[in-house]
Structure 1
C-alpha cells in the first residue's frame, strides 16, 4: 500500500492517455480519494470499478491503478 499525504490533495488525475478525469479531493489513512470532474469517463470509470453517479461522489483510488505521480498530476494505468 502506498502512503499518500495531504501534499497530493488538489493534483489533477489523468488517464494513461492524458485525459483529465478529476482531482485528488482527500487523503484518508494514506488512501487517495478522487472527485470526478468530467463527463467523458465512462470507460475509465468502468475500469476503475467506480459505480453510481460519479459526478457527485468522491471515489477511492486504489494503488493498483496509479502509474506515476508528478508535482501536479496523478497518472493512472488505465
Structure 2
C-alpha cells in the first residue's frame, strides 16, 4: 500500500493514453479516492473494477493501477 497525502487531492487522473477519467477527490487512511467524470469510457472503468453509476460516486483507486504520479497528474497503467 502506498501512502498518499492530501497533496494528491485535486490531481487529474488519466489513462495510459492520456485520457482524463477524473480527479483525486480524497485520501482516506493513505488510500486514493477518485471522482470520475461523466464522459469516462466504460472500458477503463471496467478494467479498474468500478461498478455502478461511476459519475455519481467516488471510487477507491488501487495502487496496482497507478503507473506514475507527477505534480499535476496521476497516470494509470490501464
Q: TM-score by structure 1 length? A: 0.97
Aligned partners of 1:12 and 1:20 also within 8 Å:
yes
SS at match of 1:50: coil
Structure 2 segments unaligned to the other structure (5+ residues): none
Distance 2:40 2:73 in 1: 18
Residue 17 of structure 1: aligned partner? 17
46-55 or 36-45: bigger deviation:
36-45
Deviation of 1:37 (Å): 1.1
Deviations 1:39-63 (A, max 9, x none): 2320000000000000000000000
Distance 2:39 2:73 in 1: 19
Distance 1:38 1:75 in 2: 18
Structure 2 counterparts to residues 41-60 of structure 1, below 5 A? 41-60=41-60
The CA RMSD measured in Å over matched residues stands at 0.6
Deviations 1:9-48 (A, max 9, x none): 0000000000000000000000000000132320000000
Q: TM-score by structure 2 length? A: 0.97
Residue 30 of structure 1: aligned partner? 30
